Amino acid sequence: MDKKKVPTNTITRDIKYLAEPTGNIYETVVILYKRANQIAAAEKKELTKKLEDFKNERDTLEEQFENREQIEISKYYERQPKPALVAIEEFREGELTFRTAKHDESSLKGSEID
């Protein structure tokens, strides 16, 4: 996914079009939630790995705040689109694959409420 195409601000979306691939807005929200968590975890891991290069056991608190490169890396990640927005764009573009659990009719009949 090209992150340059992803809006950096939240925009209003028509949920009926967003729910079309699944037929259920709640399933769509769960899919988007799970994908956004995957993206956020990957970004956090990447950022942590990059910032570990700057970690030094003998650094004082003042020295850590003055590291220009570290500040630039952090600002870069702050400017990135939010994981939820990336997930929505991937979903809209058809770049996500997902599976839904099929309910067995016999198990559903046993749990019906009168």
The pLDDT tens digits along the chain (114 residues) read 566 677 777 788 888 999 998 889 999 999 999 999 999 999 999 988 888 877 665 555 555 555 778 888 888 888 888 999 999 999 988 888 887 777 555 444 443 443
Output the CA–CA distances (angstroms, integers) from residue 11 to 14, 56, 60, 88, in the order listed.
Answer: 10, 42, 42, 11
| Helix axes 25-52 and 83-92, enclosed angle (nearest 10) | 130
- pLDDT of 111 reads 38
Q: Where are the alpha helices (DSSP H) in the chain?
A: 15-18, 25-52, 61-65, 68-79, 83-92, 105-110
Q: Give dist(CA 93, CA 87) in Å, integer.
A: 10
- pLDDT of 37 reads 96
- pLDDT of 108 reads 41
Query: What DSSP designation does 45 have?
Result: H
- pLDDT of 38 reads 96
Residue type (1 letter), 92: R
- pLDDT of 29 reads 94
Output the CA–CA distances (angstroms, integers) from residue 105 to 87, 100, 102, 108, 112, in the order listed.
Answer: 32, 15, 9, 5, 11
